[in-house]
Structure 1
């Protein structure tokens, strides 16, 4: 007998699949379709989950023309009875990342956590928008701060194809390293170590394995 799938579980699987396809150079139109379907389901769930004004606030923060650019492809793909000869501009990575970003935010607010693939996606978006969103810098090593800032700047200035390839590498590295990082984080909590201690430890691990110096 086959089991049942809840709507939140369906959305989780769609988001994880979309993220995996995105960082595997998958078809943008297909990725968008899966992402927006999950986004819509989570938006509807959220309306019943809690009435905290978050959806209204998010709508106010995003310009109307940008919201339309995210929703228009979904409307285009719904049917073809009245516009069977219509064409759609190609989906771009900004639309996909924006839809996935909103979907992962909603998923976390509903479920209380993110999947590993969502955490990897969230990490990459945060790196790209580090300065713009005002991420608090916890490191105290000036040279390391400068090196990380330089890498983020380089990522932002890469041509689109190269930028997406770099993000794919970042995604794979995050997924592979996460179990080790989680183990270290738990060890830090037990021993009362700080985030800076962790960064120092990672630098030492990199040096021991012959990692190249920062750009």
Structure 2
């Protein structure tokens, strides 16, 4: 196999694309989270280097989520990602993980990738449609990505099915 020469944006795109594909294939939520977190961090760092406001920074400044919600979300994402990366301090620790956090993490990463690149892949566009279906149209500071291409009928059906299941689950929990 040939060596790959990749820049940071390409790495982030590949990680995020894989996370979204694993999500639609209903694969392991922890692997999805790890890939999405890594991608998100790279994208966030590049935006900061370019002095472009990320969605995280926008929400912090504009308090769209409410400060407590925003802080809780960031804390949960950071705790999970650090748990997945490190075992040097507390190797016997356990983790309680809520898979729905992945939805918001991937949507935020997709948004910021779009801000960075002015394009996203078809499967990422499909995820945006899924996200809107499940969580509504309120963008909460997100750029409205209108060029959604619904590809592969089976994946679209799965997105709709997952959306209905998630809506049902949220009502049951509430």
After TM superposition, the score normalised by the length of structure 2 is 0.72
Change (3 A) 1:52 1:95: closer
Does structure 1 residue 89 correspond to structure 2 residue 88?
no
* Alignment gaps of 5+ in structure 1: 136-150, 161-215
Runs of 4+ in 1 over 6 A off after TM superposition: none
CA distance in 1, matches of 2:35, 2:53: 27
Contact persistence 1:35–1:96 (CA under 8 A)? yes
The equivalent of 2:168 in structure 1 is 158
Does structure 1 residue 16 correspond to structure 2 residue 17?
yes
Contact persistence 1:28–1:91 (CA under 8 A)? no
The equivalent of 2:74 in structure 1 is 67
The equivalent of 1:129 in structure 2 is 135
CA distance in 2, matches of 1:56, 1:41: 15
1:103 paired residue among 106, 109, 116: 109
CA distance in 2, matches of 1:90, 1:70: 10
1:9-65 deviation digits (Å, cap 9, x = unpaired): 111111110011011110111110011000011010110123447542223434211
Structure number with bigger Rg? 1
1:68-106 deviation digits (Å, cap 9, x = unpaired): 1122101112211111111001341x2111110111011
CA distance in 1, matches of 2:75, 2:94: 16
The equivalent of 1:57 in structure 2 is 58
Higher helix share: 1
Contact persistence 1:107–1:114 (CA under 8 A)? yes
Contact persistence 2:55–2:112 (CA under 8 A)? no
After TM superposition, the score normalised by the length of structure 1 is 0.59
The equivalent of 2:124 in structure 1 is 118
* Alignment gaps of 5+ in structure 2: 145-159
CA distance in 2, matches of 1:110, 1:102: 12
